[in-house]
Chain A
Amino acid sequence: MSERRFIKNTAPVLVVIAIIVAIWYIAAIILNTPFQKDIYSRGKVENWTTLQLIKDTMAQKRPVLPAPHQVFAEIYKTTVLKKITSKRSLIYHSWVTLSSTLLGFLIGSALGILLAVGIIHSRTLEKSLMPWVISSQTIPILAVAPMIIVVLNAIGIQGLLPKAFISTYLAFFPVTVGMVKGFRSPRVLHLDLMRTYSATRWQVFWKLRWPAALPYLFASMKIAISIALVGAIVGELPTGAVAGLGARLLAGSYYGQTIQIWSALVMAAILAGILVSAVGYANRLVNRRMGASS
């Protein structure tokens, strides 16, 4: 990589990361100081120096806010040093969450597209469906999630599917809204052209509306996949914290394991980053095939 490209592309990213880490350290020191002073006074330690205090605030077992290196040491310990099959492996838990995220995202995207197809082709469907689509999103997912798990469990559906449904519940919405707009995006001129060819509805759909809507599909799928992840994590909370990043969060908060909570949080963020860039990558591939100018 040339020096100029480094300065243009990589350097700003590194600067932002450095700033975040710096703020994180400062916050960790400030937030952990009261408890550390408590320890000193209880242990009758009186001649502590500021430097020692700073060092100790970053080495507590259950800090209010763990320092970055503590979190990354925990992540390293639970990913690289543990076998993937182990219940303590963060990779195992990430995979559990990822699998229901992906399943929920796929079902949600398909459902979202189907709803959009129905809505643009039928005025009745638009009037009858749209209010439900919108109001479904006003209900807090935290309230719906346990109900979905309980109801599905009652009819014998367990495991991956109930959690995936919670992801679906969140993910279909941006896809529906985006695709309704996308399917309606062709210019009047392009639609008139189809009319002069006496194209059928389906020909208009496949040859005009669908390709015209693809940019909208990818934009809404980027939102959908990240909230599908949120849905999967939320879905893991009422299942009794068996497995998954949600389970790690819940277990961590039961036992005051803040380092474990934060490492699960960071892992979720990394996962979201990977998922969104995967959609972005697919977008670029499709763009190239469709002759985008850059």
Chain B
Amino acid sequence: MREVPQTVIDIKKMSLTFHTNDGPVHALEDIDLAIEQGEFVSFIGPSGCGKTTLLRVIADLETPTSGEIEVDGMSPREARLARAYGYVFQAAALYPWRTIARNIALPLEIMGLSRPEREQRIRDNMALVNLTGFEKKFPWQLSGGMQQRASIARALAVEPDLLLMDEPFGALDEIVRDHLNEQLLQLWDKTRKSVVFVTHSIPEAVFLSTRIVVMSPRPGRIHTIIKSDLPRDRSLDIRETPEFLRLAHEVREGLREGHSYDE
């Protein structure tokens, strides 16, 4: 058996340039980042800073132009083929012709799991995101927040050690977002998974993360990495504490330094 590496994601001097009709776009430049098992790391930055692109590189949805990247001790491609991660997109991306239960079954069918195993995992993960009872509903019958919870259940059903989340709550209203943030945190605490989370909300990043990666645009770089000492089990009240506000201030400063306002 392969020894589980402590470092889940290891990126060294990685760059990615898109070649467009208007010339090359430096989406990512000189990224150095290591993420340990069990961490909750957020990428935060203004649009165009490459935070989503970086997540897509980890998921092997984009290929870097240069540099090195390892996911779970493998190349991103091998990690993808080994189904080492679960990916949650900005939109729920549920298939409209499948019920919620069958949407969660989708990756399990592709993995070739047996029917009892599939049903077990659907039941467990729907309970985990508080969707029990909605198995036979179609996506359009659910609210946006419930759809996104279903898509999280779908990612979790694969039982990955690593969860990649690309602004999963970006389209939701603040009350729902707060609620899902709390649930996500409990989930992370319970399952001890590693989470990489893309957001453009400072409170969300500070509330969720053990480390916050502040990025700056054109070219997309890591501006600074802020470590959080907040306890692992947090409630929403923590956002009123001086420690939280200090961290939020630090992130805001980092964003301000990294962003040029002369355009």
Measured CB to CB, the residues of A under 8 A from B are: 187, 189-190, 192-199, 203, 207-208, 211-212, 214, 290-291, 293
Contact = CB atoms under 8 A, between A and B. Distances in A.
A196 B140 contact: no
15 contacts: A192-B87, A194-B110, A195-B61, A196-B59, A196-B61, A196-B86, A197-B106, A197-B111, A198-B80, A198-B81, A207-B95, A211-B97, A214-B97, A291-B98, A293-B140
B237 to A, nearest CB: 35
A205 to B, nearest CB: 12
Contact of A193 (B81, B93, B109, B138): B93
From A196, A199, A291, residue with most partner B Cβ within 10 Å:
A196
B148 to A, nearest CB: 13
Closest 8 CB pairs of A and B: A291-B138, A290-B97, A196-B87, A189-B93, A197-B110, A197-B107, A199-B110, A211-B97
Interface of B: 59-61, 80-81, 83, 85-87, 89, 91, 93, 95-99, 106-107, 109-111, 138-140, 158
A190 B81 contact: no
Given A193-B89, A196-B61, A207 B106 contact: yes
A207 B109 contact: yes
Contacts, number: 55
Contact of A192 (B61, B83, B99, B110): B61
A203 B111 CA distance: 10
A106 B228 CA distance: 65
Contacts of B91: 189
Contacts of A290: 96-97
Contacts of A214: 97
Nearest to B87: A196
Nearest to B158: A197
B89 A192 contact: yes
B110 A207 contact: yes
A196 B93 contact: no
A187 B90 CA distance: 13
Nearest to B56: A192
Nearest to A200: B110
A226 B24 CA distance: 51
A193 B87 contact: yes
Nearest to B80: A198
B196 to A, nearest CB: 13
From B86, B89, B95, B99, residue with most partner A Cβ within 10 Å:
B95
Given A197-B111, A207-B110, A291-B140, 9 more contacts: A192-B89, A196-B61, A196-B85, A196-B87, A197-B107, A198-B80, A291-B97, A291-B98, A291-B139
Contacts of A190: 93, 95
Contacts of A196: 59, 61, 80, 85-87
Nearest to B106: A207
A192 B86 CA distance: 12
Contacts of B85: 196
A191 B37 CA distance: 29
Nearest to A287: B97
B4 to A, nearest CB: 21
Nearest to B111: A197
From B98, B110, B158, residue with most partner A Cβ within 10 Å:
B110
Contacts of B107: 197
Contacts of B109: 207
Contacts of A189: 89, 91, 93
A94 B83 CA distance: 57
A199 B158 CA distance: 13
Nearest to B136: A291
B93 A197 contact: no
Contacts of B99: 291
A210 to B, nearest CB: 10
Contacts of B80: 195-196, 198
B83 A197 contact: yes
Contacts of B139: 291
A256 to B, nearest CB: 55
A94 to B, nearest CB: 36
A190 B96 CA distance: 11
Contacts of B83: 197-198
Contacts of B87: 192-193, 196
Contacts of A197: 83, 106-107, 110-111, 158
A195 B60 CA distance: 9
A293 B86 CA distance: 29
Contacts of A193: 87, 89, 93
Contacts of B96: 290-291
Contacts of A212: 97
Contacts of B59: 196
A214 to B, nearest CB: 8
Contacts of B81: 198
Contacts of A211: 95, 97
